[in-house]
Amino acid sequence: MSQGRLQDFDDFSSRLATRFERLPKRLRQVASFATEHPDEIALGTAATIASRAGVQPSTLVRFAKALDLGGFSDLQQVFRARLKERFPDYRQRVASLRASDGGGTLSGPLLAGFADAAVVSIDRLRASADPHLIDKAIDRLAGADIVHIVGARRVFPVASYLAYAFAKLGQRCALVDHIGQLGPEQAALAGPRDVALVISFTPYAPASIDLAQILARRGVPIVAITDSAFSPLAPLADIRLEVDEADYGAFRSLAATFALAMTLAVGTAERKGQDPEA
């Protein structure tokens, strides 16, 4: 019997819990994937999600209808709303932290919270990083004529650091900073003997994705630092390095991203130093 329109992700979870055991095997398979990978449901296409879940795209529609939704797009809207709630605007984040400070000093809990998030982020990177894939990325960067670095908004400090580090370490590079909306013209200078190092995380800066698409169309190999197999950078990247940053009060750490960036920069310099033709 229909229970009406889903109100939010909590409503989805509650409804799924009451119906899970009655679902056919394939729909339970989708349910398990959706609860374990909610961000991928929010960001992926029906085809890519179905492939990852090991079902046919039509099964996603059946799953949505089993929860009284019109189709997959309605289900995806619930997951996208959840994702948006995870990253409220900055004023809301600060207000939330202020409300939870317990009336004491704000700086103490803030420092502890952000430090803890940084530690968690680094631990996640240590546990999940693939050294062979990182070595492959370093090989690609060391062999490039020029490394074109793309990173906007929250990750712009990482892109700026990489431009600084590569320059100091002797690797030719160009920061595609998009100043004056000239990003496309900057990206147009790249060629197939170069490499683009593109950084973008949820909710993905549109300018970075657009520039990555321009670079890919020009045949420039792309090394991407991103957060999911469902990132819009994933289909564009020759090498994808994933980073899962923790957050405190919805402010995400950049600790793991900086650690990976430093690894790539210094590793590239070491690799070029080992190559007598570099």
Q: At 42, list the tokens.
A: 């929010």
d(CA 173, CA 168): 10
Query: Taking each helix axis from N to C terminus, what angle separates 25-36 and 57-66, rounded to the nearest 10 degrees?
Result: 90
CA distances from 109 to 55, 74, 95, 113 (A): 45, 39, 14, 6
Along the 278 residues of the chain, how does pLDDT read in single tens digits? 345 566 678 788 888 888 888 999 999 999 988 887 887 888 788 888 998 889 999 999 999 999 988 899 889 888 888 876 665 554 555 555 555 555 555 566 788 888 988 999 999 999 999 999 999 999 999 999 999 999 999 999 999 999 999 999 999 999 999 999 999 999 999 999 999 999 999 888 989 999 999 999 999 999 999 988 778 898 899 999 999 898 887 788 999 999 999 999 999 999 988 654 44
Domain limits, CATH 3.40.50.10490, in the chain: 129-274
Q: Are 226 and 220 in contact (CB under 8 A)?
A: no
Q: Are 190 and 218 in contact (CB under 8 A)?
A: yes
Count of CA atoms in the C-beta half-sphere (13 A) of 50 = 14
**pLDDT at residue 2, rounded to an integer:** 45
d(CA 225, CA 211): 14
Classify residue 238 by burial, with Cβ atoms within 10 Å: 0-12, 13-18, 19+: middle
Query: Do strands 147-151 and 195-199 pair parallel, antiparallel, or not at all (unpaired)?
Result: parallel
Domain limits, CATH 1.10.10.10, in the chain: 9-86
Note if the pTM is more than 0.85: no
Map residue 227 onto helix, strand or coil. coil
CATH architecture type of domain 129-274: 3-Layer(aba) Sandwich (3.40)
Q: 203: cis peptide before it, omega within 30°?
A: yes
Q: Which of 255, 258, 201, 196 is nearest to 228 (CA)?
A: 201
d(CA 111, CA 106): 9
Q: Which of 60, 3, 15, 13 is nearest to 35 (CA)?
A: 13
**pLDDT at residue 277, rounded to an integer:** 46
d(CA 145, CA 163): 14
Count of CA atoms in the C-beta half-sphere (13 A) of 213 = 8
**pLDDT at residue 102, rounded to an integer:** 53
Provide the Cα torsion 177, 179, 181, 187; round to 10°: -30
**pLDDT at residue 278, rounded to an integer:** 44
Identify the CATH number of the domain defined by range 9-86: 1.10.10.10
DSSP 90: H
